[in-house]
């Protein structure tokens, strides 16, 4: 029953959007009526999504999708997250978020009626495309042709609280760019005043903040769930989330900077189209199963071709409009050797080069396999040695960009900065001389600390310190950059200065980690509701009274017959001690211990960036 | 010059789409690396018959004969779709040995399924824990493998086989 309701409301919502799309040419609507229709279609799409969720919650196995991906033994939260833990459901979530964005956009004030209408019509067009995709190739409401009373279970690797919320937040970021795309295209068509730039700014900040959160959650999940000790693997799916993120970052900066320069406006339109294109391209790569990764779902060529077609239509349409209706050219850029505009241009160029480099590495295996029928994989070594060097000049520029002037080449207080930079360099050189020297470690630390230091100097020397909301809004760009600096320090330390220790242990053995004695207490197996767990129990620092317990092990999920690894992590502010329980051989357990310094700085940096994204949204 | 700059995204888009399309149409599957299992020895297995637990089949029992191995289950609806084709294969190639592995299925369900839809297999092995499937690297049901007289895997197919696949891909190997 709920499946029927879900399917009908999905189809009905697509119908309304089709009607709205035609309204540009055939039926003319009042603004009020038009907005009501948009909101109604959003509610229908929501209803459709919640019907599917309901089917999951009550374990309605007459729905084929529920049967394939759920099990009545699962805890409620994973029944709910099972809704989007599979291809069909996640596409419905995609559509649902698209219509939620349209819903909220229909309430935007201060923009011209026709412009708002045109934006929403483009949204309706996107809704139709993805709606038809769901109905024809990925219908989550199919009826199960056989009668069953139990389901096949959810991929156990997805049975994790972090991953339950990761897809919706990430999708909110991806799909949020649809609004930015629609605004930019509508802007090209109407070619009126610059009001749309302020509207686009807000929405692109919202999308970017969501995307940041989504990527961070995913990478945090990979850190503690995959049990490989790292948090970023240059997996194709990670790469395709990084591309719109970097392009989106370029977009946000351009939107902040624009002062009526036509060239920048043109660039903004280009970036807006690019961001959403990359989002759709990412959806294509994941959903067609064309690239193998931890995210691969069953591959289906017809699905792939359908999304490829959508990608082609959306991106082709966007860039074609851009080609035909390019904004009129007028006042040139005020480029000086070093002022805000030139810093912005350099920053944007670097970000686009980085995006293209990642794009090339990601699709290179496809090209090679088509041409030579060989399977290759492009991974960490390529990306580390190309993307990072491209970003470094951008990071350097970032430390001083917010204090550059618009009109002149001068930097206020430049002596202070030079002095600070010299002192800092000496300190970092000393640090790397006395500890182990590593080029990347040196560069990363210097860069990270320099960004933080320069931003702090800028805050103290350029503004009067007051504790009120307005002050926090003014210093927001510096705060964001401090977040980046902190993240860079975390990234550098945890990857360059990571330490690995291997042990073969019996229960009751004591061993030494980082100068502290650790006791391997025992191995314990227990039966949980939907899995069996095997845990190695460790006591860290037994000499102290408050020794810490660490559990590392594996889970076995009998329904899907899969084993997942569960790392045991002891979090400290300056390092994570990361335990991995390996296999048992000759009555000895293999235990790997990783010491990851300053990992918490990465998450702290990301949280600061998101905070400053939120502040920027509230600022006009 | 400016025009070329603006045209670039469209050209890049076209190139990406063409390559992706060729990739998709060529039926390549990222989960199936080119010829990874092909020409490898069939994994070592041992399984009892669905109908008689004392009746055991081992890897060496299928040496010296061409064998088609099919992983199926009563709960797998695509298996139901391909099921009738095995009767055709049986009729056309009586000398081909048809070995079915019943995957993660209660015995009673499996027996009922083969009673209702018929049993085309020469031998139905039980793989209730999915361990044999693990050895073969089965990704999802159904999956079909063709083994030659030397005990090497010469063909593998994921998903239900169809008339076209039977004619174009399997028959030339028989």
- Quick check: helix, strand or coil at residue A338? coil
Flag whether B20 is in a domain. no
Q: How far is B31 from chain A (nearest CA, A)?
A: 7
Q: What is the pLDDT of residues B106-142, one digit of tens each?
A: 888 888 888 888 888 989 998 887 778 877 777 667 7
A359 and A249 fall within a common domain: yes
Q: What is the mean pLDDT of residues A342-355?
A: 89
> Does B152 reside within a domain?
yes
Is residue A528 domain-shared with residue A584, that is, in the same domain? yes
Which of A374, A404, A434 corresponds to the end of one domain? Answer: A404
Residue B22 falls inside a structural domain: no
State whether A464 and A540 are in the same domain: no
Cα–Cα separations (whole angstroms), residue A77 to A56, A74, A156, A221, A496: 10, 8, 13, 17, 37
Looking at the structure of chain A, the number of domains it has is 4
The answer to whether residue A616 is domain-embedded is no
DSSP A593: E
A512 and A389, same structural domain? no
CB-based contact A290 B16, cutoff 8 Å: no
pTM of the entire structure? 0.79
Classify residue B70: in a domain, yes or no: yes
**CB-CB under 8 Å, A315 with B13:** yes
Query: B7 in a domain, yes or no?
Result: no
pLDDT along chain B (174 residues), means of 10: 74 88 72 55 84 84 86 77 84 88 84 85 86 74 84 79 78 79
Domain identity same for A81 and A215: no
Is the pLDDT at A597 greater than 90? The verdict is no
Q: Which residues of A touch B13 (CB under 8 A)?
A: 277, 312, 315-316, 319
Distance separating alpha carbons of residues B154 and A475, to the nearest angstrom: 66
Q: Is residue A614 part of a domain?
A: no
How many CB atoms lie under 10 A from the CB of residue A501?
Answer: 14
Does A144 share its domain with A198? Answer: no
Q: Can you name the residues that pair with B143 across neighbouring β-strands?
A: B71, B158
- Label residue A179 exposed, middle or buried (CB < 10 Å: 0-12, 13-18, 19+): buried
Q: Answer with the one of A154, A178, A209 that is the final residue of a domain.
A: A154
Average pLDDT over residues A163-175: 88
Q: Both tokens of residue A88?
A: 């069909």
List the domain range (segments joined by +) for residue A428.
Answer: 405-491
DSSP class per residue in chain B: -HHHHHHHHHHHHHHHHHHHHHHHHTT--TTS-TTSSTTSBPPP-EEEBSS-TT-EEEGGGGTTS-EEEEEE-TT-HHHHHHHHHHHHHHHH-TTSEEEEEEES--HHHHHHHHHHH----SEEEEETTSHHHHHHT--SS-EEEEE-TTSBEEEEEES---HHHIIIIIGGG-
pLDDT at residue A230 above 80?
no
- Of the pLDDT bands very low, low, confident and very high (cuts 50, 70, 90), residue A243 is very high
**At A332, is the pLDDT very low, low, confident or very high (cuts 50, 70, 90)?**
low
Handedness of CA B101, B103, B108, B112 (dihedral sign): negative
Return the CATH number at B145: 3.40.30.10
Q: Assess whether A431 and A323 both reside in one domain.
A: no
The SS3 assignment for A588 reads strand
Chain B residues in contact with chain A using a Cβ-Cβ cutoff of 8 Å: 6-7, 9-10, 13, 16-17, 19-31, 33-34, 75, 77, 80, 104, 129-130, 134, 140
Q: Which domain holds residue B115?
A: 35-173
CA distance B87 to chain A (A): 22
How close is the nearest chain B Cα to the Cα of A585, in Å?
Answer: 21
Question: Does B3 fall in a domain?
Answer: no
Question: Which of A444, A472, A491 marks a domain boundary?
Answer: A491
CB A344 within 8 A of CB A405: no
Classified as helix, coil or strand, A573 is coil
Q: Note whether residue A617 is domain-resident.
A: no
A517 and A528 belong to one structural domain: yes
Asked whether residue A185 falls in the same domain as residue A130, the answer is no
Residues A231 and A312 in one domain: yes
Does residue A608 form part of some domain?
Answer: no
Looking at the domain assignment, is residue B24 inside a domain? Answer: no
Residue A610 is assigned to a structural domain of this protein: no
Helix segments in A401-520, DSSP class H: 414-434, 439-462, 469-474, 476-496
In chain A, % of residues over pLDDT 90: 28
Instruction: Answer yes or no: do A176 and A293 share one domain.
Output: yes
Mean local confidence (pLDDT), A386-399: 86
Q: Which tokens is A197 given?
A: 């730039």
For A426-439, the pLDDT digits (tens) are: 887 877 777 777 77
Highest mean pLDDT pick, A158-167, A178-187, A525-534:
A178-187
- pLDDT score for B139: 61
C-alpha span between A240 and A441 (Å, rounded) = 27
**In total, how many domains does chain B have?**
1
Q: Are residues A219 and A353 in the same domain?
A: yes
Q: Is A375 on the interface with B (CB under 8 A)?
A: yes
A147 touches chain B (CB under 8 A): no
| Cβ–Cβ below 8 Å for A316 and B13 | yes
* Domain contains B30: no
Q: Is residue A615 part of a domain?
A: no
A352 occurs within a structural domain: yes
Mean pLDDT over residues A109-133, rounded? 90
Distance CA A534, CA A428 (A): 44
CA distances from A63 to A66, A150, A232 (A): 5, 12, 36
At A532, is the secondary structure helix, strand, or coil?
A: strand
Q: What pLDDT is recorded for position A338?
A: 67
Higher per-residue confidence, A433 vs A16: A16
């Amino acid at each position: 029953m709920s499946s029927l309701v879900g399917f009908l409301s999905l189809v009905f919502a697509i119908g309304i959007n089709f009607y709205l799309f035609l309204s540009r040419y055939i039926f003319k609507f009042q603004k009020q009526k038009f907005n009501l229709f948009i909101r109604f279609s959003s509610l229908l799409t929501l209803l459709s999504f919640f019907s599917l969720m309901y089917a999951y919650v009550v374990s309605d196995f007459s729905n084929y999708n529920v049967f394939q991906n759920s099990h009545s033994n699962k805890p409620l939260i994973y029944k709910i997250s099972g809704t989007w833990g599979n291809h069909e459901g996640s596409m419905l979530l995609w559509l649902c978020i698209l219509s939620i964005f349209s819903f909220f956009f229909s309430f935007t004030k201060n923009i011209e009626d026709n412009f708002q209408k045109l934006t929403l019509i483009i949204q309706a067009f996107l809704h139709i495309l993805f709606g038809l995709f769901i109905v024809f190739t990925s219908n989550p409401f199919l009826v199960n042709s056989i009668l069953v009373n139990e389901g096949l279970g959810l991929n156990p690797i997805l049975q994790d609280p972090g991953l339950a919320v990761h897809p919706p937040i990430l999708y909110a970021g991806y799909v949020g760019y649809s609004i930015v795309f629609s605004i930019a295209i509508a802007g090209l068509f109407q070619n009126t005043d610059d009001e749309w730039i302020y509207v686009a700014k807000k929405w692109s900040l919202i999308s970017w903040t969501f995307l940041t959160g989504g990527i961070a959650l995913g990478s945090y999940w990979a850190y503690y769930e995959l049990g490989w000790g790292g948090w970023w693997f240059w997996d194709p799916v990670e790469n395709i989330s990084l591309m719109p993120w970097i392009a989106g970052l370029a977009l946000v900066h351009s939107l902040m900077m624009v002062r009526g320069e036509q060239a920048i406006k043109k660039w903004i339109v280009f970036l807006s189209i690019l961001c959403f294109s990359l989002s759709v391209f990412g959806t294509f790569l994941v959903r067609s199963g064309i690239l193998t990764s931890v995210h691969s779902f069953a591959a289906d060529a017809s699905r792939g071709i359908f999304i490829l077609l959508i990608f082609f239509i959306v991106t082709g349409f966007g860039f074609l409009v851009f080609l035909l209706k390019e904004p009129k050219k007028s006042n040139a850029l005020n480029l000086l050797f070093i002022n805000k505009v030139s810093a912005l241009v350099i920053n944007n160029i670097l970000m686009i080069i980085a995006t293209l480099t990642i794009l090339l590495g990601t699709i290179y295996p496809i090209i090679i396999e088509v041409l030579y029928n060989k399977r290759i994989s492009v991974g960490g070594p390529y990306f580390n040695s190309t993307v990072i060097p491209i970003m470094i000049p951008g990071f350097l520029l970032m430390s001083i960009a917010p204090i550059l002037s618009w009109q002149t080449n001068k930097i206020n207080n430049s002596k202070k900065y030079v002095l600070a930079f010299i002192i800092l360099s000496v300190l970092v050189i000393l640090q790397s001389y006395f500890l182990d020297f590593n080029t990347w470690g040196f560069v990363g630390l210097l860069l990270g600390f320099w960004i933080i230091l320069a931003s702090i100097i800028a805050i103290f020397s350029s503004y009067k310190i007051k504790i009120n909301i307005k002050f926090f809004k003014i210093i927001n760009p510096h705060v964001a950059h401090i977040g980046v600096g902190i993240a860079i320090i975390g990234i550098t330390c945890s990857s360059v200065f990571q330490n690995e220790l291997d042990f073969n242990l019996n229960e009751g053995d004591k061993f030494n980690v980082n100068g502290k004695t650790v006791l391997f207490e025992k191995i314990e197996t227990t039966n949980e509701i939907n899995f069996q767990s095997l845990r190695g129990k460790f006591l860290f620092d037994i000499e102290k009274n408050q020794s810490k317990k660490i559990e590392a092990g594996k889970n076995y999920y009998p329904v899907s017959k899969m084993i997942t690894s569960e790392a045991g992590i002891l979090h400290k502010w300056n390092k994570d001690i990361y335990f991995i329980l390996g296999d048992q051989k000759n009555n000895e357990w293999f235990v790997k211990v990783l010491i990851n310094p300053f990992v918490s700085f990465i998450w702290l940096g990301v949280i600061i960036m998101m905070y400053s994204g939120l502040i920027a949204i509230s600022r006009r | 010059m400016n025009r070329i700059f603006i045209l670039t995204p469209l050209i890049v888009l076209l190139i990406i789409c063409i390559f992706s399309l060729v990739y998709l149409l060529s039926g390549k599957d990222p989960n199936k690396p080119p010829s990874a299992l092909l020409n490898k020895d069939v994994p070592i297995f041992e399984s009892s018959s669905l109908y008689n637990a004392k009746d055991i089949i081992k890897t060496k029992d299928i040496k010296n004969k061409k064998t088609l191995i099919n992983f199926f289950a009563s709960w797998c609806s695509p298996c139901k779709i391909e099921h009738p084709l095995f009767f055709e294969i049986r009729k056309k190639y009586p000398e081909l040995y048809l070995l079915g592995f019943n995957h993660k299925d209660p015995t009673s369900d499996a027996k009922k399924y083969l009673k209702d839809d018929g049993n085309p297999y020469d031998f139905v092995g039980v793989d209730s824990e999915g361990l044999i499937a693990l050895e073969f690297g089965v990704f999802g049901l159904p999956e079909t493998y063709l083994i030659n007289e030397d005990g090497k895997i010469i063909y593998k197919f994921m998903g239900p086989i169809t008339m076209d696949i039977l004619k174009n891909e399997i028959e030339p190997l028989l």
